[in-house]
Amino acid sequence: MKRSLPLWNSFFALTLLLACSSPKSLITKHTEQFYTIDASLGKDSLMQAFLSPYKKGVDTIMQGVLAYSDVPLTKAQPECTMGNLIADAQLVSARKIDSNVTISVVNYGGVRINFIAAGAITRGLVYEVMPFENKIAIVSLSGLQIQTMCDQIAIRKGWPIAGLSFQIKDKKAINIKVNGHAINESIVYKIAINDYVARGGDNFEFMQKATKRFTDILIREAIINYLVAINQQHKVYHTELENRISYAE
């Protein structure tokens, strides 16, 4: 997953450094790109006073409730409720750009927290789930390439998906279906996936030569918009495990 931290993360990192309690301040190591700052970095009361109103503003935004869930959201394999939320949100967002997108895939390692309790889902929680600046890419894959992709996911014990289902047997994907229909090797399918994997990341090199379209939609914003839309309809978010990925008996 591309490790590009958003502005709000940088702000909090700076605030944390300024809030340390010891009076000493010491840079212990310097390389071309990074400083390693030791935990004894002292307070700067003037800087704290300067940052305080901005921090309060950010805190208010991050504590804002997007929607309410009637089930806990958990990260697990081969399928999970948190993964279903992300995959569904990504699919809805991608379809607004290209209505022919039928599949959504989320790399498991990109989901950064393991549990959200039932109840309020805040903007800050979504940032914790998806803290990086990855954007949605739309990739065209043949049925044969879909098989390759699903086999890769099977080796990894399952990733969040939507519009797609299959079973894992002997680390291979079997019974692959797109919206309930068996894949056809002669059909080209459009999938929504993050730009990192679309460029071949996570050992998905076969995607490097695929036709793709990169969007400006952050996956994090797709989740936020998806939840806000549910809340605006005065609905509670609900998801269940649907055997999108399961182990063959």
Is the pLDDT at 216 greater than 90? The verdict is: yes
Domain range list for the chain = 7-62, 65-247
What pLDDT, in 10s, does the model give residues 76-108? 999 999 999 999 999 999 999 999 999 999 999
Average pLDDT for 4-24:
46
| Strand-pair category, 172-178 with 164-169 | antiparallel
Which distant-in-sequence residues (6+ apart) come within 8 Å of 44 by Cβ?
18
Residue given tokens 């301040």 in the structure block: 25
pLDDT of residue 43: 72
Residue 114 tokens, joined: 């393991």
Q: Quick check: helix, strand or coil at residue 63?
A: coil
CA separation for the pair 157, 123 (Å, rounded): 29
Is the pLDDT at 46 greater than 80? The verdict is: no
What pLDDT, in 10s, does the model give residues 115-135? 999 999 999 999 999 999 999
Options 3.90.950.10, 1.20.1050.90, 3.30.2130.10, 3.90.780.10; CATH of 65-247: 3.90.780.10
CA separation for the pair 121, 153 (Å, rounded): 28
